[in-house]
């Protein structure tokens, strides 16, 4: 299966072994969890990990502000806009959700 057809955070190496990408740890090192060689079983395990991954954001972080926006303001928008914004919110949470909302500076969002 080509990498672009895999679910988010699922990776496949050259030997055909599937892994779940947990992101980076506190030291900046990538954390992978082996899911196996069978794609169907790997997707089942991937779904289990994803279901457990939804933890509430710590108060005062960018993630908590994004959660508030998603619950309070997103429902007022059109369906297509909601879908697009959820993609944006997911990406923002991955990249800067851990940053304190008051600590957010222009260099955090500069390209």
Q: What is the mean pLDDT of residues 75-92?
A: 90
Band the pLDDT of 4: cuts 50, 70, 90.
low
Place of tokens 């060689």: 37
Encoded tokens for 54: 């939804």
* Alpha-helical regions (H) of the chain: 39-53, 62-72, 79-96, 106-109
CA distance 75 to 63: 18
Band of pLDDT at residue 22, cut at 50, 70 and 90: confident
Please, what sign has the CA dihedral across residues 4, 67, 94, 22? Answer: negative
């Amino acid at each position: 299966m080509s990498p672009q057809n895999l679910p988010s955070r699922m990776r496949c190496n050259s030997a055909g072994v599937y892994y779940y990408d947990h992101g980076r740890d506190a030291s900046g090192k990538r954390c992978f969890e082996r899911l196996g060689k069978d794609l169907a079983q790997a997707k089942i395990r991937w779904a289990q990990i994803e279901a457990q991954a939804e933890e509430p954001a710590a108060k005062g972080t960018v993630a908590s502000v994004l959660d508030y926006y998603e619950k309070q303001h997103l429902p007022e928008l059109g369906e297509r806009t909601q879908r697009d914004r959820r993609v944006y919110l997911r990406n923002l949470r991955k990249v800067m959700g851990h940053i304190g909302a008051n600590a957010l500076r222009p260099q955090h969002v500069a390209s």
